[in-house]
Structure 1
Amino acid sequence: MTAPAIVADGVRKRYGDIQAVDGVSLRIEAGEFYGILGPNGAGKTTTLEIMEGVREPDEGRIELFGQSPWPRNLDLLTRIGVQFQASSFLDKMTTRETIRLFASFYRVGARQADAMLERVGLTEFAQVPADKLSGGQAQRLSIACGLVHDPEIVFLDEPTAGLDPQARRNLWDLLRDVNEEGRTVVLTTHYLDEAEVLCDRVSVMERGKVLRTGAPAALVRELDNMVRVSVESGLLTPDAMRDSLKDVGVVDATVEDDGVLLTVTTVAPGPVLSVLADRGALRGLEVRGATLEDVFLQLTGREYRS
């Protein structure tokens, strides 16, 4: 059996009265695209920083390739690449100068640095001051700086936070390519759709604890094929919808109206659609299968908030 790239066993970290990480245990295989997801404050970033060797755990064990990253392990530095949640580039340094500077930390030449700049689509911005790049361009530069020395493990902390939808999807393509080259990628995100698209497996975190781990599709399948049926709000009141569903024997559905959509969540969408058709309430009809958001709701009993 191939040795795992990363092992975490009973990791804990506290800041004053806040238990940021509470007994996290993970095993991440070599070449895996692994997501750590949850809302802000779930403990994702602290968990990642402990893996990177940036922070010391209060308890527990972390190993990368069988070695502890703490205290700062020089043998691991060239084998891991890091993109932090927020990156600040030096004033007045151009994009090319910035990536060449990062490359020099690992004794990587200018030619390889420039090739990485081209790979992330920033060659035409090479002479632009790094602090003048757009949000998506800055994130690409940050990732390029973490990849320039060809690491085996790449840590990405919310790399698409604050980006517009097009910039997010452009970054997804880059991250897929990085993983397909055989690198282990560990991603934290509060975008559940991002985890579903990119990750082989995910761990759902809340209040410092890992609630569930598995492939996104497998976690969703555990929800007994839950389906959401939505129509425009105002066609039926929630109470009228519940009464109509009871009349046809549907008693396990939930009905919510947020003022925009009336949504019925059920494992039996057929009778729901029949009721809506009979009542002439099909305007804006949308039928969606379960998602990781539904997994989170089932695990925590509350809606996901990023």
Structure 2
Amino acid sequence: MRIVIIGATGHVGGYLVPRLVEAGHDVVAISRGRREPYREDPAWERVERLAVNRDAEDADGVFGRRVADLGADVVIDMVCFTEESARQLLDAIRGTGARLLMCGTIWVHGTTTAVPALEHEDRDAWGDYGVGKKAIEDLVLAEAGRPDGVGAQVLHPGHISGPGWGVITPAGNLDPEVWRRLATGEPVLLPGQGLETLHHVHADDVAQAFQLAAERPDADGRAFHVVSARALTLRGYAEAAAAWWGREAVLEHADLDAVVAAYGGHGDATREHVARSHSMSIDAAREHLGYAPRHTSLDAAREAVAWLAAQEGSGVPPLP
């Protein structure tokens, strides 16, 4: 197939593009600039690369037509953040025979009632990001339900993790000081009793899911969670992470407001993650896509922390 990826050089694209090329697909990679991918791979030499300012072309109403003119069998959109942008793309590719795979987020769910949550449950997104992504999903799946509509699927990753960028810590934020404290046996502050949850996913497992979705048009019209097999409690995550350095976690607890205040500039992220406490089911992705995550949440986080520790000035001690 000819597959166009919008946002191809990001975290997931670094794994997805080589996967698709090695599977024999013709890949066109669209990115905002000429930034190199997160992961080097010889497969990129066999990829057509286009540098496009999507925001500017959306404003001019020409981005969707640019994509449609590429003659794709499948369009994978990793970086759509507004309903209007999604609408323009759908209008442009309707009738071309192209299918659309849209990257959503588990934040289309608000606070969950029962866990692991299923795709159709607790659809009370809150916050600009989750609400915006839910509006995009609703638009795309409604389109896929029309007799003359674009065949489409929406994939909802959890906290995308892996080497090359920061990873959500047991405190629900990106503060590298959390890792340093776990590594050195200093106290780490967690909310409540640390039983709130985070659901990570390795970027390569997200790439796996998008490849499967591209090759499974029979699954069109559905949304799927794309996460590791199991979520982590904050406390369990902290204890396991401290053990990477041969330590026992020293944990302190307080109510959420106090923890948010203690983390300063990182506190808002703590509140956003902890208040949701996502734990998502992947049963639908297993059944309809054949999705089988290769990495646990801890595997994905450990790879990311090992990379972070190797960066000069990170302050995070190397992992043994």
The TM-score with structure 2 as length reference comes to 0.31
Which TM-score applies when normalising by structure 1? 0.32
**Would you tell me which structure has more strand in proportion to its own residues?**
1
Structure number having the greater helix percentage: 2
Which structure has the larger Rg over C-alpha atoms?
1
